[in-house]
Amino acid sequence: MTAIKHALQRDIFTPNDERLLGIVNVCKAGKKKKNCFLCATVSTERPVQVKVVKVKKSDKGDFYKRQQTWELRDLTEVDAKDASKENPEFDLHFEKVYRWLASSTAEKNSFISCIWKLNQRYLRKKVEFVNVSSQLLEELPKAEESVPSGESQSVAGGDEDALDDYQELSTREEQDIEGMMEMCEYAISNAEAFAEQLSRELQVLDGANIQSIMASEKQVNILMQLLDEALGEVDTIEGKLSSYEEMLQSVKEQMDQISQSNRLIQISNTNNVKLLDEIQFLVNYMDLSKGHVRALQEGDLTSPKGIEACINASEALLQCMNVALRPGHDKLMAVTQQQLLFAELRDTFARRLTNHLNNVFVHQGHDQSSTLVQHTAEMSLPKHSPLHRDLLRYAKLMEWLKNTHREKYEGLSRTYVDYMSRLYEREIKDFFEVAKIKMAGTTKEAKGKFATLPRKESALKQETESLHGSSGKLTGSTSSLNKLTVQGSNSRRSQSSSLLDMGNMSASDLDVADRTKFDKIFEQVLSELEPLCLAEQDFISKFFKLQQHPTVTPPLAQPETEETDGSMPSRMPPQAEHRHSMSSEKDIVRLMMNKIFQSIETELNSLIALGDKIDSFNSLYMLVKMSHHVWTAENVDPASYLSTTLGNVLVTVKRNFDKCISGQIRQMEEVKISKKSKVGILLFVTAFEEFAELAETIFRNAERRGDLDKAYVKLIRAVFVNVEKVANESQKTPRDVVMMENFHHIFSTLSRLKISCLDAERREAKHKYTDHLQSYVINSLGQPLEKLNHFFEGVEARVAQGVREEEVSYQLAFNKQELRKVIKEYPGKEVKKGLDNLYKKVDKHLCEEESLLQVVWHSMQDEFIRQYKHFEDLIGRCYPGSGITMDFTIQDMLEYFSSIAQSH
């Protein structure tokens, strides 16, 4: 340990002008052992600085480096853990507790003793030592304690020697020793003689010092005499100072009395200023003017000036009631009386305001009936903007009521919703009745029926009421419309509906003008509803102040027993309303809108059902229009009532559209063909063409194009399957002709309409058309030259069996005589006659709508020429040099085909 101590002194502390007094080898308690050294050091310069330094050996070499330093004055406590037993653990309390484990108990005790001595010498016992043996805490000599730390206290004497058993020589000491050793030649070779010489010289110096002290006795006596004279002068000065002190004592007492009086006056002034400040605060913030009191008690709530005065008074009252009183104010009687006055004024004005607005709501709910007939006759909904404009003047008062009287605010909300829901229910029902009459009147039969019937007594109302009753709760389901499904292959409406009295209005009977008129009526209905709902929602948000705070208890979470539209209950049952308490003011607005417009979704579903009943193709118009309005509403506010309601209705429209597509597919599957007449273009192929033309017109630039594309794929797949099914079942018309004509029609339709999602089906239709055309031509052409075909088929069979081509003429059944005999059976006239008969047969197979006769005839001409060339080639190869040729040439064939086509 001594060697390590010397190395640390030399390498670390000497360059920093520090001396190492104590050292201990430690590691952190409770962790992986990484040894280091705690060193107690003092600086060699004044003022003396005492430090505890943590030194660690470098990982990359054998040298040491200073890791952390603490000032000893920052040490508050040394805890040795156990004073009676040997325990190498100890704690040093600096800014935090450092727990150490010494390599041995002896090293720990030595280091703690060193810290204790440094504390006694330099810190005046500031550090507290806990669980330390009393033997380690030895008191320093009294003389040393009396010496100030700032004076010359060389750490070389007394206890310092005990702290440091080694002291390094200074530079000057080294130089003196070297000079003295140079003066003595045997200083190194004979150390004892050198020591005796130094001892003799020291005795000589001691004698000289004693003689010098004895010689200076006279000067000492003179110094003592001067000190006695100085003490006399000091006594004189002390007497004068005592007399001066007695004189000042009386002045001091007088000044203390004056100071006490001034302090009392200052306290009194301070208290008066604070009291005045409190009084001014109460007067400024808790005083309501007489004008405001009069406005709250008697203010006119009908005129703009009166409303403005009431608004200002209510805001002033709220400010007075919400003032933050200082501690103790609530114990003042005047403050208590003023608070009671404010509460009375608040209750009085809240009651007046609630009664007035209740009367306005009730009057508005009963006063609109006179204008309903005029608006419904024009198929427009009454505008409520005048009412909204008048009521918005009370918006600030509603906000005041919301902050002061929650119960009255909620009661007004319920009253408004109650009366406005009745008003809107009447208006919307009348509006939709007119829309249904105009919608059903798109056919001449419907116009004749409804021309003589009163509006509210018509059979249409009975029909719509039955639709209301069957629709049940509005969840977007279309189960109530099942009785409107297609029955029969040629009718798109229910046979049991009372609307059959207006005439048989199948889709084929409705022209484009009727559908356009229906589209305009449906668009007008949506265009009237949209601004109405948006205006009402905007008014509710502004009037009831439901757009400023994030969370409010819903004012409408009250049970409701009222039913709407006869048998249909309210939109949300009371239990559900109570269970789903709203946490957002947007939810409150949507809840109020649901109650006010609870009949809109029902009426829209009823109108959609009627439109679908009149013509199932109307679902295309409704899908496009409804999708556009839903998209518009979601862009304005995705969570609005209008967006939610139209989204629910859009589900119904989409299901009706899907049902329309399914109905058409079902008609395709149920189609029956006549066994006595030729098939021609199938009805469902023509129907698909009409549907595609209509859909392309309606869905141009529509948002729901994807729904139409999916429907196209379903329909065209069904068309393909059922065309093939009919072709297989056809008895009068060949299968190839049915497939060829219908797929040609489908290909022409898809090419003309250019429907991108059906490009693959268009190519497939063309492929099927081409394949069946070729098949029909090949099968038909085998009949006019039947024996010649059989002969050359036999020739090809012999060649395939291995007979050489030039040896085929030696076969008995295929010699030259047999070939000439077969060729003679098909002279030019017979061939022309056979082709003429073939033309007539093809003409009977093909229908006139597609005009494919010339196309088929031209294909037969090409096929006939191909077969002719094939026959000539076989004759040239199998009967070389025989000079056998056909009785007619290719030019003759061209003339035959041309003349036959022209003659017919």
Number of structural domains found in the chain:
4
What is the structure's pLDDT at 184? Answer: 77
Domain boundary, last residue among 763, 782, 801: 782
Classify residue 59 as exposed, middle or buried by CB count within 10 Å of its CB (0-12, 13-18, 19+).
Answer: exposed
pLDDT value at 506 more than 90: no
Residue 510, classed as helix, strand or coil, is: coil
pLDDT value at 471 more than 70: no
What is the structure's pLDDT at 848? Answer: 65
Residue 347 tokens, joined? 């209750």
What is the structure's pLDDT at 557? Answer: 35
- Containing domain of residue 421, as a range? 297-441+512-547+587-651
Neighbouring-strand partners of residue 52: 40, 70
Residues 368, 424: Cα–Cα separation, whole Å: 10
Do 683 and 645 fall within a single domain? no
Backbone angles phi, psi at 27, to 5 degrees: -145, 165
CA dihedral 352, 358, 361, 363 (to 10 degrees): -90
From residue 780, alpha-carbon distances to 490, 837, 859, 886, 897 in Å are: 36, 11, 11, 21, 15
Confidence class of residue 861 from pLDDT cuts 50, 70 and 90?
Answer: confident
Q: Which of 9-18, 491-500, 508-517 shows the lowest per-residue confidence on average (mean pLDDT)?
A: 491-500
3-state secondary structure 664-708: HHHHHHHCCCCCCCCCCCCHHHHHHHHHHHHHHHHCCCCCCHHHH
In a domain, 255, yes or no: no
3-state secondary structure 327-374: CCHHHCHHHHHHHHHHHHHHHHHHHHHHHHHHHHHHHHHHHCHHHHHH
Q: Are 76 and 128 in contact (CB under 8 A)?
A: yes
pLDDT value at 884 more than 90: no
Do 604 and 615 fall within a single domain? yes
What is the structure's pLDDT at 784? Answer: 61
pLDDT tens digit string along 665-704?
A: 888 888 777 766 677 788 888 888 888 888 888 888 777 7
Residues 32, 44: Cα–Cα separation, whole Å: 36
Q: Which of 102-116, 221-235, 556-570, 777-791 shows the lowest per-residue confidence on average (mean pLDDT)?
A: 556-570
What is the structure's pLDDT at 378? Answer: 64
Backbone angles phi, psi at 355, to 5 degrees: -65, -40
From residue 505, alpha-carbon distances to 482, 490, 616, 617, 694 in Å are: 19, 11, 11, 12, 18
Do 317 and 390 fall within a single domain? yes
In a domain, 207, yes or no: no
Do 734 and 788 fall within a single domain? no
In a domain, 469, yes or no: no
In a domain, 227, yes or no: no
Neighbouring-strand partners of residue 65: 56
**Residues 698-713: what's their mean pLDDT?**
83
The C-alpha R_g of the chain, in whole angstroms, comes to 60
pLDDT value at 622 more than 70: yes
Domain boundary, last residue among 88, 107, 136: 136
**Residues 402-428: what's their mean pLDDT?**
89
CB atoms within 10 A of CB 896: 21
Classify residue 822 as exposed, middle or buried by CB count within 10 Å of its CB (0-12, 13-18, 19+).
Answer: middle
Do 708 and 844 fall within a single domain? no
Can you say how many angstroms the Cα of residue 7 is from the centroid of all Cα atoms in its chain?
68
What is the structure's pLDDT at 553? Answer: 39
pLDDT tens digit string along 273-322?
A: 888 888 888 877 788 888 888 988 888 888 989 899 899 988 888 888 88
In a domain, 456, yes or no: no
Residues 642, 636: Cα–Cα separation, whole Å: 10
Do 316 and 389 fall within a single domain? yes
Domain boundary, last residue among 136, 164, 198: 136
pLDDT value at 261 more than 60: yes
What is the structure's pLDDT at 165? Answer: 47
pLDDT value at 493 more than 90: no
Long-range contacts of 848-852 (CB under 8 A, 24+ apart): 849/680, 849/681, 849/745, 850/681, 850/741, 850/744, 850/745, 852/740, 852/741, 852/744
Do 778 and 788 fall within a single domain? no
Can you say how many angstroms the Cα of residue 577 is from the centroid of all Cα atoms in its chain?
27
In a domain, 66, yes or no: yes
In a domain, 716, yes or no: yes
Do 42 and 60 fall within a single domain? yes
pLDDT value at 752 more than 80: yes
pLDDT value at 613 more than 80: yes
Residues 326, 281: Cα–Cα separation, whole Å: 10
Do 391 and 525 fall within a single domain? yes
What is the structure's pLDDT at 140? Answer: 44
More confident position, 734 or 400: 400
Do 746 and 894 fall within a single domain? no
Classify residue 245 as exposed, middle or buried by CB count within 10 Å of its CB (0-12, 13-18, 19+).
Answer: exposed
pLDDT value at 39 more than 90: yes
HSE (side-chain half, CA atoms, 13 Å) at 679: 28
pLDDT tens digit string along 324-383?
A: 888 877 788 888 888 888 889 889 889 999 999 999 888 877 765 544 445 545 678 888
Reading phi first (left if > 0) and then psi (alpha if -120 to 50, else beta), residue 708 is in alpha
Instruction: Using alpha carbons, select from 885, 828, 845, 839 the residue that is nearest to residue 861.
Output: 839
**Tokens 């600086």 label which residue?**
43
Q: Is-cis flag, bond preceding 47, omega within 30?
A: yes
Do 832 and 857 fall within a single domain? yes
Confidence class of residue 498 from pLDDT cuts 50, 70 and 90?
Answer: very low
pLDDT value at 227 more than 50: yes
Average pLDDT, the chain: 77
In a domain, 199, yes or no: no
| CATH code where residue 99 lies | 2.30.29.90
pLDDT value at 464 more than 60: no
Do 719 and 800 fall within a single domain? no
Backbone angles phi, psi at 28, to 5 degrees: -70, 135
Task: Tell me the residue type at 361.
Answer: F
What is the structure's pLDDT at 783? Answer: 54
